[in-house]
Chains A and B, each alone.
Chain A
Amino acid sequence: MKKLIFLLAGFILVSVLFIGGFRSTAFAQEAEKISSLELLGKAIFFDTDLSVNGAQSCATCHAPEVGWTGPDSQVNLGTVVYQGALPNHFGNRKPPASGYAGDSPVLFFDEGAGEWVGGMFWDGRATGEILGDPLAEQAQGPFLNPLEQAIPNAQVLCIRIKQADYAGLFKEVWGDRSLDCAKDSAGVYERIGRSVAAYERSAEVNPFSSKFDIFWDNAVMAGKDVSKIKFSGGGGMGSGMGPGGGGIADPNRWQNFRNLGLAAFNDPSRANCASCHSIEPGSAGYPLFTSFTYDNVGMPKNPDNPFYTMPEVWNPDGADFVDYGLGGFLKGAGYPEVVYQQELGKMKVPSLRNVDLHASEDFVKAYGHNGYFKSLEDIILFYSWRGLTP
């Protein structure tokens, strides 16, 4: 009986740590006002007039209600790739989430780890080398991409901004001469990218308001390192309930399925997800669940990808198109074979934040760079199955 009371008290305490407890950090973030620069970026982000025919904004493919990725369940279930502003214009990949992406560094090769780190897009092609900010460079891309928003050039984009009801805000943020489309469209293009990036880094896009964040806050306040939550070794179920030491109220010794999931997620001898979906805190003090590195997880082709049937001008390889990811980008960028060969097939490791955020109960999300998988269950199964294959 005494043991039962002890267990019950421990469960309540752990639950309080996870669910309630101290919310100071998250509340403080909620209270923050969006800055003028972020507000400008938001206006640009949601403006469908910044596409050739008024049909598409950034949010068309990166919507908040589903974690800043594709918001159309039918598209996710089918083609996965979103049609551009122009009919029958398709790129070749699923929209990556644009939230929680601001910490990705300028693309570089980490000599010590022997791997590429940083950049934006699934293949890292927004390296950040031009603006010093991969997120800003990524934000520039879709406006002028013929398969996306399809604005003909930076000058036309500038004129669209000048005609927008937020043109005054643009000048207020960047200066009276900041919207000179005749003499400085390149400068305006840069400011557009930086504005959108500022919004994408804002607390509105990155609220850190998940159940996990509450747990993280409370674990930190209790002096506990969540990244250390692993199984204690041994293979039996009975031995796998958390590291030794600490009382039952110890956040390192959770007793429910979520916490066992985190232990398996972290543990190098179990799923080891954290080796790529890092649980080390980012610049805001919370994990981003990505190491900003690249991997080939062995994703199958998605036969429903409409890129396979795109005209030769966009896809010279037709049905034989192979998505080489980072390696393909490096090859195209002129890196020698010895460099790009080792990167063929690798895609950027996405953040797992909002990975399950749905617009409704029956909403279908797609997973993987080409959206081959249609549920978290299936891609988790695939990852485990890959552990059994050569």
Chain B
Amino acid sequence: MNGGLGMGGRGMDGCAGGGMGDMMEMMCDPELFPAPEVDQNLAQMNHFNTMDQNNILAFLKTLSDGYLD
């Protein structure tokens, strides 16, 4: 089972340590996740920092129906 990657020992940006900017990015683990199932036609994606990740998570939690119920 692959559930629950957990964040212990890593920042939520997938990088070890507490460096900033380029230094932090250089320390990111290229094997944090397994290889893509299909390694072609990969979408280009942006890296975004831990604060953005946390804020996006908080924003996504506002998209649940039932607030008016």
Contacts and interface: CB of A to CB of B under 8 A. Distances in A.
Interface of A: 23, 26-27, 30, 67, 77-78, 207-215, 237, 257-265, 269-273, 276, 289, 295-304, 322-325, 327, 342-346, 352-357, 364, 370, 372-378, 380-389
Q: What are the 6 tightest A-B residue pairs by CB atom distance, in nearest-first order?
A: A345-B38, A261-B59, A387-B47, A261-B55, A298-B36, A300-B34
22 contacts: A27-B68, A30-B68, A67-B64, A209-B69, A210-B64, A210-B65, A211-B64, A258-B55, A261-B54, A265-B59, A296-B38, A301-B37, A323-B37, A327-B41, A344-B40, A345-B36, A345-B37, A353-B63, A355-B63, A376-B60, A384-B14, A387-B48
Given A272-B46, A300-B37, A343-B41, A375 B52 contact: no
Interface in B14-66: 14, 25, 28, 30, 32-43, 45-49, 51-66
B65 A207 contact: yes
B35 to A, nearest CB: 7
Contacts of B61: 258, 356
Nearest to B65: A209
Nearest to A214: B67
Interface of B: 1-5, 7, 12-14, 25, 28, 30, 32-43, 45-49, 51-69
Contacts of B5: 373-375, 378, 381
Given A210-B65, A237-B51, 18 more contacts: A77-B1, A211-B63, A261-B54, A264-B52, A270-B52, A296-B36, A296-B38, A297-B43, A298-B36, A324-B38, A352-B60, A352-B63, A354-B63, A357-B65, A377-B57, A384-B14, A384-B53, A387-B45
Contacts of B63: 210-212, 289, 352-356
A271 B36 contact: no
B69 A298 contact: no
Contacts of A300: 33-37
Contacts, number: 198
Q: Choose among A67, A257, A298, A380 the residue with the greatest number of B CB atoms under 10 Å from its CB.
A: A298
B31 to A, nearest CB: 10
A271 B52 contact: yes
Nearest to B13: A384
A331 B7 CA distance: 39
A344 B41 contact: yes
Main DSSP-derived SS at the B contact region: loop
B38 to A, nearest CB: 3
Contacts of A352: 60, 63
A357 B58 contact: no
A103 to B, nearest CB: 16
Contact of B42 (A296, A343, A373): A296
A264 to B, nearest CB: 4
A257 B51 CA distance: 9
A299 B36 contact: yes
Given A356-B64, A388-B47, A375 B4 contact: yes
Nearest to B53: A380
Contacts of B68: 23, 26-27, 30, 207, 209, 214
Contact of A296 (B4, B34, B40): B40
